Chains A and B, each alone.
Chain A
């Protein structure tokens, strides 16, 4: 069986009309930790083929409780490890890795206007706020999904989806802080799945 026919079958169970839209989308993932690595995994399985991903860090053992990495990848830059893991799902993806610390001074250099969808997947609250200010001011036409509040062991239904504006969706319980409450795979991955789904829905709305 050649690669093309494998890929045809890969999306055979997708709901009608979804695959074509996601195949055309260009997505940026800011941060490849608990949110970003799992969002990327979900997007690729849903049909997104063009993903740019940024993270300055390397995989460490304490990431493996919730992030889409493996023991053998400890010490490897997260963007490189994630790219390898995504290509293991589908070797024909268009993936662009950026091993950089994103900050207000370089957001506009790396997050161009040509992206259809940007995911805020940082772990640091100040960085989340910085990227949100940039997106709300400079990238108003781009779909933007951010997360605030995914830590601890509170009920998963406390994670809300708030449509703050036409293109800005905020996911999270708004209060649980990872520094105080820890991070558990089930809740972090639930939040990342909700985040990915919100982005997918927004892309389908536009199609």
Chain B
């Protein structure tokens, strides 16, 4: 199954959730703003979002400091 993560093509096994790929990218899912095909999801929903062929995933990880 092919998807696009932050502009790059990736092959995932069917059944991969949004949470699965966020865990690879960041220590804390709460620090990530995640959009799938333009829809923004809350961290509590990440595990329930099962990715589909052709999905475009945009992950933005915030770090502290201000």
Binding site for B on A (CB under 8 A): 31, 33-36, 121-126, 128-129, 132-133, 136-137, 146-151, 164, 170, 172, 174-179, 183, 188
Shortest Cβ distance from residue B33 to the other chain A in the assembled complex, whole angstroms? 5
Shortest Cβ distance from residue A47 to the other chain B in the assembled complex, whole angstroms? 24
Contact partners of B64 in chain A: CB under 8 A? 123-125, 128, 151, 177-179
Cβ-defined contact, A183 with B33, below 8 A: no
Shortest Cβ distance from residue B63 to the other chain A in the assembled complex, whole angstroms? 4
Q: How large is the interface on B (under 10, 10 to 19, 20 to 34, 35 or more residues)?
A: 10 to 19
Cβ-defined contact, A150 with B33, below 8 A: no
Binding site for A on B (CB under 8 A): 28, 30-33, 35, 40, 42, 60-66
Cβ-defined contact, B66 with A132, below 8 A: no
Best-surrounded residue of B28, B35, B64, B65 (most CB of chain A within 10 A): B65
Cβ-defined contact, A126 with B28, below 8 A: yes
Contact partners of A164 in chain B: CB under 8 A? 60
16 additional contacts (CB under 8 A) given A126-B31, A148-B63: A31-B66, A122-B66, A123-B65, A128-B64, A128-B66, A129-B62, A133-B33, A136-B40, A146-B62, A148-B60, A149-B65, A150-B66, A172-B63, A176-B65, A177-B65, A178-B66
